[in-house]
Copies of this chain bind each other. A is one copy, B any other.
Amino acid sequence: MNRTELITLINRKKSFLCIGLDTDISKMPAHLKDLEDPIFEFNKAIIDSTIYLAVAYKPNLAFYECYGVKGWQSLTRTINYINNTYPGQAFTIADAKRGDIGNTSQQYARAMFDKASSGMEFDAVTVAPYMGEDSVKPFLSYPSKWIIVLALTSNKGAEDFQFFTSQDTRLFEQVLARSKQWGSDENMMYVVGATKAEMLAGIRKIVPDHFLLVPGVGAQGGSLQEVAKHGLTKDCGLLVNSSRNIIYASNGSDFAEKAREEAGRMQKEMEALLK
């Protein structure tokens, strides 16, 4: 999905909501656990009930890998379900935080973008910047595909290295300033945590037009109003992620309905902010 298509989708749905599919068997309704593929069935129900409210879905790969081969089957079924059932109706993000030397990152890019090889095709993948340019560039050779580079994350550990400062420039600012030269706002986005929303104004000075993927609203304590205030651009420029608040809104048989209600609440708030 290219930038124009993403912006059109946002305007059509009046939403910049991304739903994180961090699907944990221990937190899902009891009646699903006996099915052959509970993770896929859970995801399918969440997707079906929120597809007109969310513009993006973001499975975090850790929640699938922890079940090994079976987990990768659930992941593959999930992404293929979105692509086949709702083509062009959702932006899909593999939250994988990958990154390795060039010829290795090339293999990761195939895993996420090349369906003929891996059986899966996402629109975007999150990448970790520590290993530098050649670790992220191989992902950029796929047309209409995106990398989302970790800049300022929403967790406590973000303070350990991301604020390491050289002559008034913090590491996350250096990551933004340098990495934006490797691609463009047509194929790169950045992760910026909502828990640090007040820093979005400074970040927008470095990357005025790039889309930002913002986790941390809700369970982690970030505020949607604050994020929008400092982060919105004329093209929206934001994908705000919510995981637990939506997908675990209920752990009863009404989980999909409650997820829709919670997603709807956020979409309404976003619609007002987009005006």
Interface residue ranges, A against B (CB under 8 Å): 22, 24, 60, 62-63, 65-73, 76, 95, 97-102, 104-105, 107-108, 110-111, 114, 117-120, 128-135, 150, 153-162, 164-166, 171, 174-175, 178
* Most chain B CB atoms below 10 A, which of A60, A66, A98: A66
Are B178 and A117 in contact, with the CB atoms below 8 A? no
Min CB distance, A218 to chain B, in Å? 14
Residue numbers in B under 8 Å from A101 (CB-CB): 153-155, 157
Are B162 and A164 in contact, with the CB atoms below 8 A? no
CA distance A159 to B119 in the complex (A): 34
Given the known interface contacts A62-B108, A72-B72, the answer about A132 and B117 at a Cβ–Cβ threshold of 8 Å is: no
Residue numbers in B under 8 Å from A129 (CB-CB): 130, 160-161
Are B119 and A68 in contact, with the CB atoms below 8 A? yes
Residue numbers in B under 8 Å from A128 (CB-CB): 97, 99, 128, 130-131
Given the known interface contacts A160-B133, A160-B178, the answer about A118 and B66 at a Cβ–Cβ threshold of 8 Å is: yes
23 A-B residue pairs with CB within 8 Å: A60-B107, A62-B105, A62-B108, A63-B104, A65-B107, A66-B118, A68-B76, A69-B73, A69-B119, A101-B153, A128-B128, A129-B130, A130-B153, A131-B153, A132-B155, A132-B161, A132-B162, A133-B156, A133-B160, A134-B157, A160-B178, A161-B174, A164-B164
Interchain CB contact (< 8 A) of A171 among B24, B65, B66, B171: B171
CA distance A244 to B66 in the complex (A): 29
